[in-house]
């Protein structure tokens, strides 16, 4: 893997006069796991939307290696090697676990290519491996629609594994989870990361502490503070934003 950096410079997004992102700049090095935190409305989800092509920035540069992400749409960015996990697990309810993973598997994405696609032994093995990794082996041929909430989360993570992205964006993965689940999810994400770059958006500081990596704090659409968790937690501006005066 050659390793590409994610590079955001001076990115602004304006909705009807409201600045969701305000001159945001951020660099994620190849292989880095970065936590992005911030209070509600800080622009975390909008930042994800800009990187994945869902929202076009009003101004600024967004690059992944040499590719200009502002000129690409979601599928093109996804095939470039950027995967995204939503806050609410979204899987394909009417397809089986196996089929969900099959669709995620790295392969040509065109209509004709999909018609011609035949499942090779190698692909089958890979799907089986991923299914095992996320602990869904027993349910491989059940429709995703009948899985429990947690299993759907694992399935979605499995789909990201099968997609094998170079950069992984994870949106609030532990919202509404118990402490035990949170811990397990943190371990899983660290495990997935490996050679990949990962950006985790979260506003749960404890979870971020569990990840133990570099942290960026967003506030009102721009970077407020950046550094280790201890550094940002002692930054008076961060304290002010989180605790108020």
Partner 1 sequence: MRRIAILLLVLLAPLAGHAQDAFEAALAGLGGGFAQQAEAAERLGMLGDPRAVPILRALSDGRLLRAGDGALLVREGDRNTFALTGAAAEISGAEPVRINNRVRAALRGALGRLSLVSPDQAERLAAAEAVFRSRAAENIPLLEAALARENVARIRERMELALAASRLAAGDEAAKRAGIAELGASASTEARAVLLESRAAAPALAAEIDAAVTAIDRRLAIRHAAETFFQGLSLGSVLLLAALGLAVTFGVMGVINMAHGEFVMLGAYTTFVMQEALRGIPALAPWSLPLSVPAAFLVAAACGAVLERGLIRHLYGRPLETLLLTFGVGMMIQQAVRLGFGAQNREVTSPPWMQGTLELAFGVTVTQNRLWILVFSLLVLGLTVAAIHLTRFGLEMRAVTQNRRIAAAMGIRTGRVDAFTFAFGSGIAGIAGVALSQIDNVSPNLGSGYIIDSFMVVVFGGVGSLAGTLVGAMSLGVVNKVLEPYAGVVLAKVFVLVAIMLFIQRRPRGLFALRGRAAEQ
Partner 2 sequence: MRAGLGAAVGLLALLPALNALPTDHALHVSDFIVSVTGKWICYAILALSLDLAWGYAGILSLGHGAFFALGGYAIGMHLMRLIGPRGAYGHPVLPDFMVFLGYTQLPWFWRGFEYFPYAALMVLLVPGALALVVGFLAFRSRITGVYLSILTQAMTYALMLAFFRNDMGFGGNNGFTDFKELLGMPLATPRARAALFYASLVALVAAFLICSVLTRTKYGRVLTAIRDAESRARFLGYDTARHKLFAFVLSAMLAGLAGALYVPQVGIINPGEFNPGNSIEAVIWVAVGGRGTLVGAVLGAFSVNALKTWLTSAAPDLWLFALGGLFVVVTLFLPRGLIGVFDRLRKGRAP
Binding site for partner 1 (CB under 8 A): 15-16, 18, 20
Indicate which of partner 2, partner 1, none lies near residue 93 (CB less than 5 to 8 Å, by partner kind).
Answer: partner 2
Using rule CB under 8 A, residue 111 touches partner 2: yes
Indicate which of partner 2, partner 1, none lies near residue 7 (CB less than 5 to 8 Å, by partner kind).
Answer: none
Indicate which of partner 2, partner 1, none lies near residue 235 (CB less than 5 to 8 Å, by partner kind).
Answer: none
Indicate which of partner 1, partner 2, none lies near residue 92 (CB less than 5 to 8 Å, by partner kind).
Answer: partner 2
Using rule CB under 8 A, residue 74 touches partner 2: yes
**Shortest CB 88 distance to partner 1, Å:** 13
Using rule CB under 8 A, residue 242 touches partner 2: no
Q: Which of 27, 67, 78, 239 binds partner 2 (CB under 8 A)?
A: 78
63-69, long-range: CB < 8 A, 24+ apart: 63/6, 63/7, 64/4, 64/5, 64/6, 64/7, 64/167, 65/2, 65/4, 65/5, 66/4
Taking the CA atoms of 188, 124, 1 and 217 in sequence, report the sign of the dihedral they define. negative
Q: Is the CB of residue 214 less than 8 Å from the CB of residue 32?
A: yes
């Amino acid at each position: 893997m050659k390793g590409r950096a994610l590079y955001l410079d001076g990115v602004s997004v304006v909705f009807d006069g409201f600045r969701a992102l305000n001159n945001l700049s951020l660099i994620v090095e190849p292989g880095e796991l970065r936590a992005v935190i911030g209070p509600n409305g800080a622009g975390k989800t909008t930042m994800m939307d800009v990187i994945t092509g869902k929202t076009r920035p009003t101004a600024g540069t967004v690059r992944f290696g040499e590719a200009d992400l502002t000129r690409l749409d979601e599928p093109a960015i996804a095939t470039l090697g950027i995967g995204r996990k939503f806050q609410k697990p979204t899987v394909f309810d009417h397809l089986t676990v196996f089929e969900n993973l099959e669709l995620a598997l790295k392969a040509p994405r065109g209509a004709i290519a999909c018609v011609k696609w035949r499942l090779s032994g190698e692909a089958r093995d890979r799907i089986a491996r991923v299914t095992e990794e996320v602990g869904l082996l027993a349910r491989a041929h059940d429709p995703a629609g009948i899985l429990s909430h947690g299993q759907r989360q694992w399935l979605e993570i499995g789909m990201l594994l099968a997609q094998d992205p170079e950069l992984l964006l994870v949106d609030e993965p532990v919202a509404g989870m118990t402490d035990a689940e949170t811990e397990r999810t943190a371990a899983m994400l660290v495990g997935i990361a490996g050679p990949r770059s990962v950006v985790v958006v979260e506003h749960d500081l404890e979870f971020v502490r569990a990840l133990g990596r570099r942290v960026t704090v967003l506030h009102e659409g721009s970077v407020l503070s950046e550094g280790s968790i201890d550094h940002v937690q002692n930054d008076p501006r961060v304290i002010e934003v989180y605790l108020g005066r």
